Structure 1
Amino acid sequence: MLFQHKLKKQIKLEEQKQLTMRKPHIIAISYPAQGHVIPLMELCLCLVKHGCKVTFVNSEFNHNRIIKSMSEADHADNAINLVSVPDGLAVEEDRNDIKKLKEAFFEVVPEKLEALIHNINESDENRVSCLIADQHLGWAIELAKKLGLQRVAFWPAAAASLSMMFNIPKLLDDGIVGKNGEILRKESIKLLPLMPDMNTTDLAWNGFSDPELKKLFFDLYFKNVESVKAAKWLLCNSSQVMEYEVFAAYPKLIPIGPLLASNRLGKTSGHFWREDTDCLKWLDQQPLNSVIYVAFGSFTIFNMAEFQELALGLELTNRPFLWVVRQGFIEEAENPYPEGFIDRTRNRGRLVEWAPQQKVLAHPSLGCFLSHCGWNSTIEGVSNGLPFLCWPYFADQLFNKSYICDVWKIGLGFDRNESGVIGRQEIKNKMEQLFGDENFKARAVNLQAEVLASVKRGGSSYQNFSSFVNWIKATN
């Protein structure tokens, strides 16, 4: 009897030891857009580095794009379990069709994700204990609550743009927007006393020309603000020093960024296109602080007039430039470049389909960033001390431009001509103004130092992330 008692005690101790050794298993799911996938994957790579196991869920379509873009070395180094679920769309269907995407990711994927979690828990001794979902996917937070998982919402963009969504009930009460998101009063508003003014026509959902899409996103934002109230944490890919007034107003919104591969001395993951790393060798041959880097993210589409004026504007600057012209960036002709442009700029211009952007922006030859002001691009430029030329496309990019130009004062915007186009001479003039005023660079370098300090030991983002990791481990 004594032997059996000792044996049972030993078995119990071994079971407790196994439990304490078991890694927290996190399942993460992103909104299916490039600008959402990369920062969430970066968060997950940081969690793996701190002893967590992560299963990252993409749609089959995006999963295959990511796998195809990875090199052999990327596959060998990958520390995340990449899995996929069907989205119900055929391969040839347009994933940029927001209506189809909404139907896929809000009606088909929830059921597939629930089945995936059940399958993991039946086959893996490291059962899923926590779900991290993009804030756009409020349904995933509700699913995690239903399954008894710890719940974390992740906002990959600026805290200021999320505060816009938090203010939807007030905008409705004040009669500024209608129940379908339509703008009832065109005016300048201030969401918080220290935030820059914004025009009501620039509210995120109003960037779509289709009224049905406006209503779709307005309803989505309104519903998700309610859904994420069930989350235990609401993490934001920003820094307290960049948006102090927003984080002071919303203490439950926790800044843990900027989440960049360079901050953990690693490589970026989650790209939909293969990076052209040869452009780094080209940058090595350029003078210090001379190159204009031109990139408009994964979603922007230019018409022929805009594209040609940009090309001719870059030519007029007479400066070296690296221009990312991804597939689908120009909506019309097969050869959209102005006649003779390629030959005339061959010795000082470089065109690529997709760049290793974080490495490009960290290169000492970079002089400025001509950007659409997407949040990932914004924090990457800020983290490298670069001044900006701002050409926002839609949604939160318009508000990010306000921070760059009016709050941080590290960039300039462009003015459109009477035809609504940003002309070549305007591009040349603003470029000369930016390079001719050293204060832009000086302010950018000062902001860079503050932002990088926040992610280092003792900084606010570092401490917030450490608290989050401790919570995950304690609740495993």
Structure 2
Amino acid sequence: MKKFEMVFIPAPGMGHLASTVEMANVLVTRDPRLSVTVLAMKLPYDLKVAECIDSLSMSFTGKSIQFIVLPEPSLPEESKKDFIVLVESYKAYVREAVANLVGSETSLDSPQLAGFVIDMFCTTMIDVANEFGVPCYVFYTCSASFLAFSVHLRELYDQNDSNEVVEQLLNSDTEFITLPNFANPIPSKLIPSLFSNKDKAIWFHNHIKRFRSEIKGILVNTFMEMEFHAMESISSNGRVFPPLYFVGPILHLKNTGVAGSSEAENYEEILQWLDGKPPSSVVLVCFGTMVSFDEDQVVEIANALEESGVGFIWSLRQPPPKGKFEAPRNYTDIKDVLPEGFLDRTADIGRVIGWTSQVELLAHPSIGGFVSHCGWNSIIESVWHGVPMATWPMHAEQQFNAFEMVKELELAVEITLEYRITFGEGKPRLVSAEEIKNGIRTLMGEESNEIRKKVKAKSEESRKSVKEGGSSFISLGKFIDNVLANSPGGGS
């Protein structure tokens, strides 16, 4: 049996890394002809990424997946914070690693290099794939709706002066924008802020431009039953675009290999505490690996949880030192930041913890709601486990995701849609205890019964989609056929 090797290049960020590696795992599990080499880049300002790489590599020992951790480029301190410069600086190391990989194919039994699968923000690596004469594919870690929006915006830039497009997005008179992939007009303030920065917008649009002209196919971490409208939008009007493969949900369902696992506090005790709670009675409050709050906002969250009377688990992390661009860490003593007496007064209904394995807690039957930052990985984890969300987006495209979940799909309730953290550019607004409390009570009360039913139905659809005969199962098969047909030498 002829064998084929794929090179996976994830972006050096927690949300991108774990899901990309799980995509590789799904691929090699599906077809024994395929093996994967993951070329891992580190983030200089986030040591947890290095831990994640080490843990993931160990968790896949014995499978047809190998990890190569690329050397860290020698860059000035300021350049290390520039994601664009950082990824570009890894190009030479990717070239060298692939050359060594190809050079090790010494026998007829050795797998043949069949192509690259790159992260959506690593399109510079297309150049390396071209040098080795193999096709390049993208693993898209955001929603299909955001991809459709990005394609639409790129076309606006092609057809109009870029300054006019930016001005339209920033124009306070333009309260709502009509998009072909949404039934409802979206408030312009929910459009990611990078699109109003000309340099960043050009960088982003160049990714989409390369998707259209140089990519053989795009794997999207979603499923047809959830975002069929987005696929229709991208394929409409005779648009020439690479094949889309909706192959999700791609989920890393265990904390093995996820950065932060070494910091998990009293994890077994938390699970035992949950075991004693009624089904769907506890809300999980968790905002991902990169979000932390100042003390004023922490107090508002604490007051909201206490006043709501709802059972809760709250993952609370300490902000990095002022001026430092680092990932949050666990508090040495969590009492220092909470209102006096809060832990004693809420001892029967809640737990405040540091880092936690979010996806495993969502799987517990006592979790009945999820206050989330609306990262796409968190959304599909929530849908998979049938847990409705209350939206509190933070940055990137999360406001866009929150709008899709609340207004378009009606799978979530709203705490806020427009909250935004802009790193290094001042404090965000304070979300009041009243807003948070009302959102939690709506989420956990009878008002959300219809949403809860919809989420449960969508959960069943998500699980069916990845089983044999399901939409994502079929789509992944088509992707494999594409890879083998386009690999040098063919797939016979």
Q: Please report the TM-score for the alignment, with normalisation by the length of structure 1.
A: 0.84
1:119 pairs with 2:97: no
> Residue 391 of structure 1 contacts residue 414 of structure 1 at CA under 8 Å; is this kept in 2?
yes
Match for 1:145 among 130, 134, 157?
130
1:45 pairs with 2:25: yes
> Residue 149 of structure 2 contacts residue 181 of structure 2 at CA under 8 Å; is this kept in 1?
no
Code of the aligned partner of 1:185? N
> Residue 57 of structure 2 contacts residue 66 of structure 2 at CA under 8 Å; is this kept in 1?
no
| Pair 78,357 (structure 1): closer, same or farther in 2 beyond 3 Å | farther
Match for 1:105 among 51, 76, 87?
87
Partner residue, 1:286? 277
Cα-to-partner distance string for 1:206-258 (whole Å, 9 max, x where unaligned)? 38xxx8xx344312211111222311111110111111111012243221111
| Pair 68,87 (structure 1): closer, same or farther in 2 beyond 3 Å | closer
Partner residue, 1:18? none
Code of the aligned partner of 1:470? D
Match for 1:469 among 463, 467, 480?
480
Partner residue, 2:406? 405
What are the residue-to-residue correspondences of 1:43-192 with 2, within 5 Å?
Answer: 43-49=23-29, 50-51=31-32, 52-60=34-42, 64-67=50-53, 69=55, 74=59, 76=61, 80-88=65-73, 98-99=81-82, 101-106=83-88, 108-124=89-105, 125-172=110-157, 178=163, 181=166, 183-186=169-172, 187=174, 188-192=176-180
> Residue 361 of structure 1 contacts residue 381 of structure 1 at CA under 8 Å; is this kept in 2?
yes
| Pair 293,176 (structure 1): closer, same or farther in 2 beyond 3 Å | farther
The Cα shift of 1:145 comes to: 2.0
Aligned residues with identical type, % of pairs: 26
The Cα shift of 1:463 comes to: 0.4
Code of the aligned partner of 1:65? E
> Residue 220 of structure 2 contacts residue 247 of structure 2 at CA under 8 Å; is this kept in 1?
yes
Partner residue, 2:300? 309
1:430 pairs with 2:439: yes
| Pair 195,355 (structure 1): closer, same or farther in 2 beyond 3 Å | farther
The runs of 4+ residues in structure 1 deviating greater than 6 Å are 173-176, 329-334
Partner residue, 1:244? 228
Counterpart Cα distance in 2 of 1:127 and 1:456: 29
The Cα shift of 1:175 comes to: 6.4
Figure out how many residues of one structure are paired with residues of the other and give that number: 441
Counterpart Cα distance in 1 of 2:483 and 2:319: 41
> Residue 255 of structure 2 contacts residue 360 of structure 2 at CA under 8 Å; is this kept in 1?
no
Counterpart Cα distance in 2 of 1:343 and 1:136: 46
The Cα shift of 1:298 comes to: 2.0
> Residue 133 of structure 1 contacts residue 140 of structure 1 at CA under 8 Å; is this kept in 2?
yes
Partner residue, 2:363? 362
Identify the range of structure 1 (176-185 vs 448-457) with the bigger mean alpha-carbon deviation.
176-185
3-state DSSP of counterpart to 1:167: helix
The Cα shift of 1:180 comes to: 9.4
Partner residue, 1:5? none
The Cα shift of 1:360 comes to: 1.3
Counterpart Cα distance in 2 of 1:462 and 1:109: 33
Identify the range of structure 1 (141-150 vs 25-34) with the bigger mean alpha-carbon deviation.
141-150
Counterpart Cα distance in 2 of 1:41 and 1:70: 8
1:24 pairs with 2:43: no
| Pair 43,340 (structure 1): closer, same or farther in 2 beyond 3 Å | same
Counterpart Cα distance in 2 of 1:310 and 1:329: 19
| Pair 225,318 (structure 1): closer, same or farther in 2 beyond 3 Å | same
Q: Please report the TM-score for the alignment, with normalisation by the length of structure 2.
A: 0.81
Unaligned runs of 5+ in 1: 1-20
Code of the aligned partner of 1:423? S
3-state DSSP of counterpart to 1:289: coil
3-state DSSP of counterpart to 1:178: helix
The Cα shift of 1:406 comes to: 1.1
The Cα shift of 1:330 comes to: 9.3
1:321 pairs with 2:321: no
The Cα shift of 1:204 comes to: 2.3
Counterpart Cα distance in 2 of 1:471 and 1:193: 26
Code of the aligned partner of 2:25? L
Code of the aligned partner of 1:44? A
Partner residue, 1:16? none
1:257 pairs with 2:237: no
| Pair 159,117 (structure 1): closer, same or farther in 2 beyond 3 Å | same
1:230 pairs with 2:214: yes
Counterpart Cα distance in 2 of 1:259 and 1:71: 18
Identify the range of structure 1 (329-338 vs 135-144) with the bigger mean alpha-carbon deviation.
329-338
| Pair 79,351 (structure 1): closer, same or farther in 2 beyond 3 Å | farther
**Root-mean-square deviation over aligned CA pairs:** 3.0
The Cα shift of 1:140 comes to: 1.2
> Residue 221 of structure 2 contacts residue 249 of structure 2 at CA under 8 Å; is this kept in 1?
yes
Counterpart Cα distance in 2 of 1:294 and 1:406: 21
Identify the range of structure 1 (394-403 vs 55-64) with the bigger mean alpha-carbon deviation.
55-64
> Residue 70 of structure 1 contacts residue 274 of structure 1 at CA under 8 Å; is this kept in 2?
no
The Cα shift of 1:306 comes to: 1.8
| Pair 68,155 (structure 1): closer, same or farther in 2 beyond 3 Å | closer
| Pair 199,425 (structure 1): closer, same or farther in 2 beyond 3 Å | closer
Counterpart Cα distance in 2 of 1:283 and 1:76: 32
Counterpart Cα distance in 1 of 2:468 and 2:207: 33
| Pair 69,180 (structure 1): closer, same or farther in 2 beyond 3 Å | farther
Counterpart Cα distance in 2 of 1:360 and 1:414: 21
> Residue 196 of structure 1 contacts residue 402 of structure 1 at CA under 8 Å; is this kept in 2?
no
Partner residue, 1:204? 192
Cα-to-partner distance string for 1:25-72 (whole Å, 9 max, x where unaligned)? 111011111111121111100112122211111124566322555697
Code of the aligned partner of 2:36? V
